[in-house]
Structure 1
Amino acid sequence: MRLVQFREQEVCMDSENGKKALTESELIDRQVEEIMTDEESAEGGKRKKKRRKKARSGEKPSLKERWKGYSRKRKIITVVVVLAAAAFLLSRCGGGEKGPVAVPVNVMSLTRQPIKEKLSVSGPVSGTDSVDVVSNIHAEIITMNVKEGDKVTKDQILAVLDKTDLERDLQVAQNAYDLAVVNKQEKDKSEALGYEKATQDLRKAQADYNRNSALYAAGDISQVEMEQAANALNDAKRQVEGYNVVNGRGAADASYELQVQNAAIDLEKKKEELENAEIKSTIDGTVVRVNSKVGQFADKVEDDKPIFSIENLDQLEMEIKISEYSIGKVQVGQTAVISADILDGETVEGEIIKISPTGEEKGGGSTERVIPTTIRIDGTNSKLIAGITAKAEILIRESEDAFVVPVTALIDDGEATYIAVVEEQKVRRIPVTLGVDGDVNVEVIPADGSEFTEGMQVILNPGPMTVDGALVTVLPQM
Structure 2
Amino acid sequence: MPKLDIKKLKPKGISLKGIKLKRKPSKKAIIFSIIFVIIVAAIIAKIIMPKPAPQVKYTTLSKGKVVNSVNVLGEIKSQDTTNIYSTESNAIKEVKVGDNVKTGDILAILDSAGLEKDIEQSTATADATDANNKVTLEAAQKAYDDELKIYNNNLNTDVKNAEEVLNLAKINLDDKKKTYEKNKSLYDAQAITESDFNKVKIDYDTANSDYEKAKVSLENVKIKADQALSKAKNEYDTAQNNYNNKSQRIAIEKQKQQLENCTIKATVDGTVTSVNATVGNSGSGILFELENLDNIEITVPIKEVDIANIKVGQRAEIKTDSTGNDVIEGEVVSVSPSAKKDIIAQSKAASQSQQGTSSDAGFEAKVKVNNANQNMKVGMSARVNIITSEKSDVYTVSSESIIENGNGKSVYVAEKVGEKGNEYIVKELPISTGLESDFNVEISGEGISDGIFVINDPSTCKVGEKIQIKGA
User: What's the TM-score once normalised by structure 1's chain length?
Assistant: 0.58
Q: Which residue of 2 aligns with 1:264?
A: 249
Shift of 1:241: 4.1
Aligned 8 A contact 1:180 1:256 in 2: no
Which residue of structure 1 lines up, in the alignment, with residue 44 of structure 2? none
Q: Relative to 1, partners in 2 of residues 1:112 and 1:224: Cα closer, same or farther, differing over 3 Å?
A: same
- Name the SS for the 1:251 alignment partner: helix
**Match for 2:100 among 131, 147, 151?**
151
Deviation at 1:438, TM superposition (A): 4.3
Determine if the alignment matches structure 1 residue 251 to structure 2 residue 237. Answer: yes
User: Which residue type is aligned with residue 360 of structure 1?
Assistant: P
Supply the AA of the counterpart residue of 1:432: T
- Show CA shifts across 1:356-392 (max 9, x none): 5x852122379x996854413524521x221344222
Quote the Cα distance in structure 1 between the aligned partners of 2:432 and 2:327: 40
| Mapping of residues 200-211 of structure 1, within 5 Å | 200-203=149-152, 204=154, 208=160
Which of 215, 227, 234 is the aligned partner of 2:216? 227
- 1:47-102 per-residue CA deviation (whole Å, 9 max, x = no partner) reads xxxxxxxxxxxxxxxxxxxxxxxxxxxxxxxxxxxxxxxxxxxxxxxxxxxxxxxx
Q: How big is the alpha-carbon RMSD for the aligned residues of Structure 1 and Structure 2?
A: 4.6
| 1:309 alignment partner in structure 2 | 289
Give how far 1:440 is off.
1.7
Opposite residue 76 of structure 2, the aligned amino acid is V
Q: Deviations over 1:300-327 (max 9, x none)?
A: 6xxx6x3322222234332457765234
Give the AA of the match of 2:277.
S
Give 1:362's aligned residue.
339
The alpha-carbon distance between structure 1 residues 359 and 385, as it changes in their structure 2 partners (threshold 3 A), is closer
Answer yes or no: is 1:173 the counterpart of 2:122.
Answer: yes
Q: Call closer, same or farther: CA 1:242–1:360 in 2, change over 3 Å.
A: farther
Match of 2:269 among 270, 284, 290: 284
Over 3 Å counting, the alpha-carbon distance change for 1:267 and 1:372 in structure 2 is farther
Pick one of 329, 350, 354 that aligns with 2:329: 350
CA distance in 2, matches of 1:298, 1:451: 76
Please give the alpha-carbon distance, in whole angstroms, between the structure 2 residues aligned to 1:179 and 1:402.
89
The 1:179–1:389 alpha-carbon spacing in structure 2 relative to 1, beyond 3 Å, is: farther
Q: Secondary structure at the match of 2:86?
A: coil
Q: Where do residues 318-467 of structure 1 align in structure 2 (5 Å cutoff)?
A: 318-320=298-300, 325-328=308-311, 331=313, 334=315, 336-341=316-321, 343=322, 345-347=324-326, 349-352=328-331, 355-356=333-334, 360-364=337-341, 372-379=365-372, 381-382=374-375, 384-395=376-387, 401-409=393-401, 418-421=409-412, 425=426, 427-434=428-435, 437-446=436-445, 451-452=448-449, 454-457=451-454, 460=457
Structure 2, unmatched stretches of 5+, are: 1-53, 175-209, 342-357, 415-424
Tell me the percent identity. 21
Q: How many residues of Structure 1 are paired with residues of Structure 2 in the alignment?
A: 348
1:114 aligns with 2:64: yes
- In the TM superposition, what whole-angstrom CA distance separates every residue of 1:321-343 from its partner, at most 9, and x where no partner exists? 77652344x527x4x432335x2
Q: 2:228 and 2:132 mapped to 1: Cα distance?
A: 23
Unpaired runs of at least 5, structure 1: 1-103
Partner of 2:19: none
**Residue 314 of structure 1 contacts residue 380 of structure 1 at CA under 8 Å; is this kept in 2?**
no
**1:150-177, Cα deviation, whole Å (9 max, x unpaired):** 2211111222333321211221332344
- Residues 215 and 290 of structure 1: CA distance in aligned 2, closer, same or farther (over 3 Å): same
Shift of residue 230, structure 1, vs aligned partner? 1.1
Instruction: Give the number of the structure with larger relative contact order, counting CA–CA contacts within 8 Å between residues 6 or more apart.
Output: 2
Q: 1:133 aligns with which of 77, 84, 97?
A: 84
The answer on whether the counterparts of 1:140 and 1:161 sit within 8 Å (CA) in structure 2 is: yes
Question: What whole-Å deviation, never above 9, does each CA across 1:31-60 have from its counterpart, x for those lacking one?
Answer: xxxxxxxxxxxxxxxxxxxxxxxxxxxxxx
Give the direction of change, closer, same or farther, for the CA distance of 1:198–1:442 in structure 2 (3 Å limit). farther
After superposition, give the CA deviation of every residue in 1:234-253 in whole Å (9 maximum; x if it has no partner).
Answer: 233344445667xxx93327
Partner SS for 1:222: helix
Contact preservation (8 Å) 2:84, 2:289: yes
1:227-285 superposed Cα distances (whole Å, 9 cap, x missing partner): 1111222233344445667xxx9332797378x44323321222122223332211222
Report SS of the residue matched to 1:440.
coil
- 1:18 matched to which residue of 2? none
For residue 233 of structure 1, what is the amino acid of its counterpart?
K
Q: Pick closer, same or farther for the CA change 1:372–1:400 going to 2, 3 Å.
A: closer
Q: What is the alpha-carbon distance in structure 1 between the residues aligned to residue 405 and residue 236 of structure 2?
A: 96
1:401-454, Cα deviation, whole Å (9 max, x unpaired): 43111234557899x9844335865644322333xx5432133344xx774453
Structure 1 residues 210-219 or 168-177, which shifts more?
210-219
Answer whether contact 2:399 2:440 (CA < 8 A) is retained: yes
Point out the more displaced range, 171-180 or 369-378: 369-378
Q: Measure how far apart 1:457 and its partner are.
A: 3.1
After TM superposition, the structure 1 stretch with the greater mean CA deviation from structure 2, 274-283 or 115-124, is: 115-124
Relative to structure 1, the CA distance from residue 440 to residue 192 in structure 2 (aligned partners, 3 Å threshold; closer, same or farther) is same
Tell which structure's C-alpha radius of gyration is larger: 2
Any conservation in 2 of the 1:422–1:459 contact (CA below 8 Å)?
no
